[in-house]
Amino acid sequence: MRTICFYFQVHQPYRLKPYRFFDIGEDHDYYDSFGNKNIMRKVAEKCYLPMNALLLELIEQHQGKFKVCFSISGTALDQFEQYAPDVLESFQKLVETGHVELLNETYTHALCALKSKEEFHDMVKKHQKRIKELFDGYTPTVFRNTELIYSDTIGEMVAELGYKAILTEGAKHILGWKSPNYVYVNAIEPKLKVLLKNFRLSDDIAFRFSERSWADWPLTTEKFVDWINQIPPEEEVINLFMDYETFGEHQWAESGIFDFMRHLPEAVMKYSNYTFSTPSEVAENIPPVGKIHVPTPISWADEERDLTAWLGNDLQDEAFDRLYELEELVNASDDPDIHRDWKYLQTSDHFYYMCTKFFADGDIHTYFSPYENPYEAFINYMNVLSDFMLRLKNVKVESKS
């Protein structure tokens, strides 16, 4: 069995509004509702709605032989309900076909796996409950952590929650001479299968598709199928993992990205011996070749494939540490607004905006950030966090009285 596994990440954060020092203690509404709604509707029209319609057409055309999977963050699901119910309905129709798998993740696309096992478990269970509510009782069996962040110990935590597989990056410094085109198992808990992204083929679609300076531009379905046919026959699975916003948002419709996807399934089925599978099918049908050792966390971000997109500089570490110092106080509160904001403030994007990298990776960070610079992002976040801390202290005082 040789198969292709398509995984798409769907995520939108609750972006913070400009929050000044003088707002602290006065304004407890932190979110840029106007901006979040506008961005959601823009991405819905450019990506979610046309691409979901295309996938539904392909699944029906190929009678279920074409399959994909999604991981949809809780913050994206919440905004679908608020601003784009038509998008939520289109995802529901895809899942109803029985040929689209949903994955579990942390509810707010958070980095809690790096800081708090208790909060991580709570986030995962909250996301699982949300999926079940919105998708007719659906229960995911495969996990993907925020930004594919993974280590041996994170895998162990995921295995404890009962998942049979996890997705992560096929990072070169972890694989060495090994290929990402096999199934591996967690080094601590071998019952957890580990599926690794083939970053070269994935990034050919996600990042290089419209890059005219790329030696292989333009990317055609014939060229792509020729590449996968050159992969040694004993390598059984090609994991193509990417942001869903690749289609229509990062790679505009004018680039031909929709046409590429429209013709890819037929080209694969006609001119190769590959099928399409969901992650749970890969985990079920392809035997693992051995353990994959990941002692320190990896991710799918930037050239280093590490955590430096979100953590590591003084701004990020200060904000991250101050946030999680509040965990005990939050858990002592029964205020639903406190718990909602605590979850939303953990979203990894807030720390991503504080990244001070330069050159190519820095350009990517600038593209996604609503701030002029990382320092503005840090100040805005810390102003919000200061107000949140005041609210926590007031809740504690009120509970004592």
Token representation of residue 392: 């926590």
In a shared domain, residues 133 and 271: yes
Mean pLDDT of 247-263: 97
Give the pLDDT score at 366: 54
- Residue 234 shares a structural domain with residue 268: yes
Whole-Å CA distances, 135 to 48, 68, 93 = 17, 16, 9
Residue 20 and residue 383 in contact, taking contact as beta carbons nearer than 8 Å: yes
Residue 37 lies in a domain: yes
* Domain match, 217 and 171 both: yes
Closest to 369 measured CA to CA, from 24, 27, 35, 30: 35
Is there a single domain that holds both residue 395 and residue 275?
Answer: no
Rounded-to-integer distance, Cα 326 and Cα 214, Å: 47
Identify whether residues 281 and 199 lie together within a single domain: yes
Q: What is the pLDDT of residues 72-98, one digit of tens each?
A: 999 999 999 999 999 999 999 999 999
- What total of structural domains would you count in the chain? 2
Q: Is residue 399 over pLDDT 60?
A: no
Among 103, 98, 94, 12, smallest CA distance to 57 is for 94
Tell me the catalytic residues.
147
H-only helix segments in 135-256 = 152-160, 172-175, 199-206, 221-229
Q: Is residue 297 part of a domain?
A: no
- Note whether 318 and 288 are same-domain residues: no
Q: Which domain holds residue 163?
A: 2-292
The pLDDT assigned to 258 comes to 98
pTM: 0.95
Q: What is the CATH number of the domain that holds 165?
A: 3.20.110.20
pLDDT of residue 367: 56
207 in the same domain as 65: yes
> What is the structure's pLDDT at 396?
62
Quickly list H helices, 220-256. 221-229
Mean predicted lDDT score pLDDT of the chain: 95
Residue 305 resides in a domain: no
Same domain, 329 and 224: no
- Judge whether residue 365 has pLDDT over 60: no
Mean pLDDT over residues 199-217, rounded? 97
In a domain, 395, yes or no: yes
303, part of any domain: no
Residue 361 has pLDDT above 80, yes or no: no
Q: Per the domain annotation, does 65 fall within a domain?
A: yes
Q: Are residues 259 and 336 in the same domain?
A: no
Q: Are residues 274 and 393 in the same domain?
A: no
- The rounded distance, in Å, linking the Cα atoms of 321 and 255 is 42
338 in a structural domain: yes
Do both 327 and 249 map to the same domain?
Answer: no
For residue 301, is it within any domain? Answer: no
Same domain flag for 318 and 287: no
Average pLDDT over every residue of 195-221: 97
* Mean pLDDT to the nearest integer, 26-47: 97
